[in-house]
Amino acid sequence: MALIIQKYGGTSVGSPEKIQAVAEKIIGYRAQGHQLVVVVSAMSGETDRLLGLAGAMSERPTPRELDVLLATGEQATIALLSMALEERGCPARSYTGAQVHILTDNAHNKARIREIDADRVAADLAAQHVVVVAGFQGVDDKGNITTLGRGGSDTTAVALAAALKADECQIFTDVDGVYTTDPRVEPDARRLERITFEEMLEMASLGSKVLQIRAVEFAGKYNVPLRVLSSFEEGDGTLITYEAEGMEQALISGIAFNRDEAKLTALGVPDQPGVAHLILGPIAAANIEVDMIIQNMAADGKTTDFTFTVHRNDFSRGLEILQKVAGGMGASEVVGDPKIVKISLVGVGMRSHAGIASSMFETLAKEGINIRMISTSEIKVSVVVDEKYLELGVRALHETFQLDQVVTA
Ligand code: ASP
Ligand code: MG
């Protein structure tokens, strides 16, 4: 018998029929002898609908009241699912975040979980109940309802798993696991049996939107085995866990990409102490996040070219700021390109293998793809290329590293 936390996302509970199907699924797991705590999201589209209603009242609704409103989406689902379970003879109890005491800070709309009082849930489990908990919400120490930010139900599930020391946290969603890359770009993409927390964090932050990043961080921190699997199809999904000792490790786990990048360059900036700070200080002050940075010596040896990337939405604002500061520093020119993308190879197997980056560059060269920027970390190599090469680059790399098959390091 295992204690399992299951989370069903909005599409999995998107209609009365789907909620009934989830109830059947839960009963099946219970019949195998498992104890279950089930976390649910609002029915698909519901959170957006509520946001629309709030928008009709005020252009900037009070964050506290917005949380009171948004929390109703999940509250409806817990009641409906519990009714469906009870109707089928399965004892169930629904709880809001506040009721199971998911204590958060008071940052409305993006609150962080501080602690969970697991006693009430444990008592229900001991009484053979399925416990159904509203995702995405909690309560601050003054009793105000808070929400955890969009996609926050994943985090609720992981936090409950950590608090209850569950054997596994299962995230049921509309995809059947984590893939080597986006199957819409590379139809030969393969579902991974397992991936490490570190790799998953890289994949998630690089734009593979299967799980909320915060949930993956939380699971890694508390060592909660996390599994992503489909609500609609049978299968084992993908297990996210730590590298097991002696386990064969894939060389490359996946190729992540990000289409939302833009590049800004100041050419011919005097090469002096403080240049990076003078350029990036005002960018940071404008709340623009910088990703890659490259500074290289210009041909004259006295000046430097300074390039960095930002989110595409911040491109025009960033360009304006850069024109101002670079002008003041005597730069010769400021140029920008909002049509770039980042492609990254991710794999913990890289740590023990040389030559990954050079095969990556060779592959891109063969396809005639010009690399604009490069950055590396212990388990990742990223390149910036022109947007039009995204699909070609991803497919070529998928083939070079044989990601359609299991290749171990
Ligand atoms: N219902 C919330 C949202 O749509 C939370 C979640 O689904 O995880 O973002
Ligand atoms: Mg969701």
pLDDT tens digit sequence for 60-70: 999 999 999 99
The verdict on the CB of residue 135 being under 6 Å from ligand 1 is yes
CA distance 152 to 150: 5
Give me the domains of the chain, ranges plus CATH numbers. 3-174 (3.40.1160.10), 255-400 (3.30.2130.10)
Residue 73 CB less than 6 A away from ligand 1: yes
Please tell me if the CB atom of residue 14 comes closer than 6 angstroms to any atom of ligand 1: no
The torsion angle over the Cα atoms of residues 182, 184, 186 and 192, rounded to 10 degrees, is 40
In degrees to the nearest 10, what's the CA dihedral of 240, 243, 247, 250? Answer: 70
Q: What is the mean pLDDT of the chain?
A: 93
CB 197 within 8 A of CB 219: yes
CA of 149 to the centre of ligand 1 (A): 8
Nearest residue by C-alpha to atom 9 in ligand 1: 150
* pLDDT of amino acid 204: 80
Determine if ligand 1 sits within 6 Å of the CB of residue 12. Answer: no
Is 70 exceeded by the pLDDT of residue 158? yes
Please give the distance, rounded to the nearest whole angstrom, from the Cα atom of residue 10 to the centre of ligand 1. 7
Distances (CA, A) of 333 to 278, 307, 324: 16, 12, 11
- Protein residue with its CA nearest to atom 5 in ligand 1: 151
If phi > 0 it is left, if psi is from -120 to 50 it is alpha, else beta; for residue 372 that is: alpha
Cα(139) to centroid(ligand 2), Å: 20
Q: Point out the ligand nearest to the CA of residue 73.
A: 1
Cα(222) to ligand 1 centroid in Å equals: 22
Q: Binning pLDDT at 50, 70 and 90, where does residue 393 land?
A: very high
Contacts (Cβ under 8 Å, ≥6 apart) of 58? none
- Please name which of 210, 193, 192 lies closest in space to residue 201, comparing C-alpha atoms: 210
Helix (H, G, I), strand (E, B), or coil: what is residue 61? coil
- Cα–Cα nearest to 181, from 406, 409, 403: 403
The predicted pLDDT at position 245 comes to 64
In this prediction, residue 207 has a pLDDT band, given cuts at 50, 70 and 90, of low
246 pLDDT band, cuts 50/70/90, is low
Q: What is the mean pLDDT of residues 112-132?
A: 94
